[in-house]
Amino acid sequence: MQHALAPYPSPEARDRAFVALIDKFGGTVHTYGHSVDGRPLLAGQLPATKPSDRRILCSAGIHGLEYIAGQVALGFIEALAHNLADLREQAEVWVIACINPDGYATTWEADGRAERLCTLRANARGVDLNRNYPRPGNAPPSRWPGAGSDTPGAATYRGPQPLSEPETAALDKLLQQQQFSASANLHSFMGTVIPARVRDRSWFATYRDLCRALASGQPDRKYSRLSSRLFDVFTGEQEDHQHHVHDCWAVCVESFPVWASVRQHLRAPSKFWRFNPHDPTPWVTNDVAGLGAYFRYALQLPRPSVARQSRQLPAGS
C-alpha cells in the first residue's frame, strides 16, 4: 500500500537518494553531526570543476514537515549535471537535503498529521531550529507573531539558548569551517523569497537584486520578495546568522505559494498537505531554475563585508 505521504520519500529513501546523487556526480558525503535522536546530519560536497576557492550552500528541511524543500534540494543536485553545470565551474557546491531529520521522521511516522504544528516542524526536543540561532548584535527578542517564543510547545519555540540544539550547533560549525559566500535555505509554503534582514541600504539593494535574479530564473511561477528595512525583525533565523556572522549572502526560499496550497485543498486533510504539493515535479523544476539564477548572480558579488568595505561605510550601519 502506498504511504500516506507518497510520492515523497521515507527518511531512509531520502538519504539513499541523496547519497546516490552526490556519489554519481563525484562528490563526498560528510556526516557533520548527529540529531537529538542520533540520526546523522548529512552534507554533500561537490568539488568545483574549474579552480575556485568559492563555496556555495543549498540547504533544506530545517522544518520537519516541509518535504517539498528537500525535493527541491535533490533536484538542484541533479541540475548541477545539466543546466546548472556552470555553477560548479565557479564554485564548490554543498547541499544539505535535510537539516532536521528527526522532524522529518516524526512527520513520516505520523502520516503528516498532528494536533500542533510544532510536533512536525521542530526537532525532537520541540525546538524550532530556525529560531535557535543567535540574534545578530544581541538584538532583543521581538514580540511580533512568528518571531519566536520562549514557551515550549509553541510552533516557534526558540529553545533554552541560541545554538542549544545539536542540529544548529553542527551546522554553525560547518558554516564556520566552509565560509560559504552564498546560501539558499529552502522551506515551504509561501511562494516568497525572504532575504537576510539588513538595514544597510546597499546590502538591502543587493538583496533586492538577488531576489529579482531568483524570480527571473523561475520559468513558471515567480516568487516575490518579502522584506523591509524598517519593519523586519531579528528572530534567530539561519539566513540572518549566515549574513551577519558568517559573511554570506543568504536567503530563505519558500516553495509552493499560498494560493497553490489553497487551490490544492481549501481544507487540507492534514498539516502535511497544506505545506506540500501532491505533485512536487513542477515546483522542483520551477524553483531549481530560480536557484540557478540566484547563485549565478551571487557569485558575481564580493562577500558582504567586502561589499561594505569597498563603500567605506562605518561599521554597524
Residues that bind Zn ion (CB under 5 A): 63, 66, 187
- Please, which residues bridge with residue 249 across strands? 182
Please say which residue, 129 or 299, places its beta carbon nearer to Zn ion. Answer: 129
The contacts found for 23-30 with CB under 8 angstroms, 24 or more apart, are 24/81, 25/77, 25/80, 25/81
Kindly tell me which of 9 and 61 has the beta carbon lying closer to Zn ion: 61
Q: How far is the CB of 63 from Zn ion (least distance, A)?
A: 4
Q: How far, in Å, CA of 80 to CA of 89, rounded? A: 10
Residue 187 or 274: which CB sits closer to Zn ion? 187
Please state, in angstroms and rounded to a whole number, the distance separating the CA atoms of residues 198 and 212: 17
Nearer to Zn ion (CB atom), residue 186 or residue 299: 186
Nearest distance from residue 111's CB to Zn ion, in Å?
A: 20
Residue 55 or 187: the one with the smaller Cβ distance to Zn ion is 187
Closest distance of CB 126 from Zn ion, Å: 16
Helices (H), the chain: 11-24, 67-79, 85-90, 101-109, 117-121, 166-178, 201-217, 238-246, 258-264, 272-275, 281-298, 304-310
Q: Whole-angstrom Cα distance, residue 31 to residue 38? A: 12
In the complex with Zn ion, which residue's Cβ is closer, 187 or 244? 187
Q: Which of 220, 167, 229, 169 has the alpha carbon at shortest distance from 198?
A: 229
Residue nearest to Zn ion according to CB distances in the complex = 187
For the CB of residue 24, give the shortest distance to Zn ion in the complex, in Å: 28
Neighbours of 300 (CB within 10 A): 8
Beta strand pairing status for 40-46 and 28-34?
A: antiparallel
Q: For residues 149 and 181, which CB has a smaller minimum distance to Zn ion in the complex?
A: 149
Please report how close the Cβ of residue 64 comes to Zn ion at its closest, in angstroms: 9
Nearest distance, CB of residue 36 and Zn ion, angstroms:
18
Q: Are 242 and 168 in contact (CB under 8 A)?
A: no
Question: Exposed, middle or buried by CB within 10 Å (0-12, 13-18, 19+), for 54?
Answer: middle
Question: CB 32 → Zn ion: shortest distance, Å?
Answer: 20
